[in-house]
A = this chain, B = another copy of it.
């Protein structure tokens, strides 16, 4: 063996950087566990008891493969959204579906548009499939710059626009009307990926009506947030049957865990649990906001299960992240300007929030010197 078999040109050109370093990896590096895990926007309010029961039953049948058609869940989602099952596809989380969307629509060398600092896994897939990335800046107030995004899609060879509404990492959101208008002005050749991972937490006026008539629109949703099934890896896309057919041609047909299928189905049916989670999260957001006011760390408006605190300048935010990490608190910090002056904190339980408040006050005092 003299020669290494070569990777494809695209894969050979990729860096070894990954979308997220998990908290477990940071813990292994530190040699101890975080006392507060508030960095991954996981639900602090657990899993619906109905979903737990369904998953415990599913475990007993785990020697059987999952239904590759995800029939029961697709059918229930279709009923839930008043659409046809041909307008839904299931994936191992939105992360999985984003990769499929890039692969289905964008040739290597063609371009995709997303705000600079938007969800890193989208960028990971775009680069992984050899696409060019066009990245308008976020507005200073933390909103996506919808006009800049729309303008960017008019460049040659742009095939996809990615937007999260509400947004991650800022927590900000736009109304259904504004989202609809953005879709209207996109070029015909450009597909609009609307990531609605946090949709359960937004006011109703921020949720565009479900309408699958426009084949340019693909909406993605997940059971990872309000439903508390982040570790189950299950999400779905809603789109025109033509668009769904592309996913069906390339997706991993046996890719969704049987326990996740059962859990998601039960969680979907437990709207009472979801409503309760949303209520608790709202309370937590108000508490974070109040704390921000008191501490001179203003919060960005949020319609998610996290809150972004504005530390004014990047250096302060960097030091705040460091101070919280050293106080055994896992949070994240946007890496790109203008949001790199902020930190992003998941809404915890009342106990977690009380402990977080202590640590934050302490760390922020240190930063301010």
Contacts and interface: CB of A to CB of B under 8 A. Distances in A.
Interface of A: 1-9, 11, 14-16, 18-20, 22, 24-25, 28, 37, 40, 42-47, 52, 55-56, 58-69, 71, 92-93, 95-96, 99, 103-107, 121, 128, 159, 188-191, 213-216, 224, 228-233, 242-243, 245-246, 248-250, 252-260, 263
Among all A-B residue pairs, the 9 with the closest Cβ atoms: A231-B258, A63-B228, A257-B257, A24-B67, A14-B249, A62-B231, A3-B188, A43-B63, A65-B230
A103 to B, nearest CB: 7
Given A47-B63, A259-B259, 17 more contacts: A1-B214, A11-B249, A15-B249, A16-B245, A22-B65, A22-B69, A25-B68, A40-B64, A44-B63, A56-B59, A58-B231, A61-B231, A65-B224, A92-B92, A95-B253, A95-B254, A257-B259
Contacts of A259: 55, 59, 231-232, 257, 259-260
Given A42-B63, A230-B65, A252-B99, A215 B4 contact: yes
A233 B215 contact: no
A78 to B, nearest CB: 15
A229 B68 contact: no
A248 B128 CA distance: 11
B107 A8 contact: yes
Report the copy number of this chain in the oligomer.
2
Contacts of A7: 104-105, 246
Contacts of A229: 62-63
Given A7-B246, A55-B62, A18 B68 contact: yes
B62 A255 contact: no
A18 B255 CA distance: 13
A63 B92 contact: no
Contact of A233 (B6, B14, B44, B255): B255
A22 B249 contact: no
B8 A106 contact: yes
Contact of A215 (B5, B28, B231, B256): B5
Contacts of A231: 58, 61-66, 257-259
A59 B71 contact: no
A20 B224 CA distance: 28
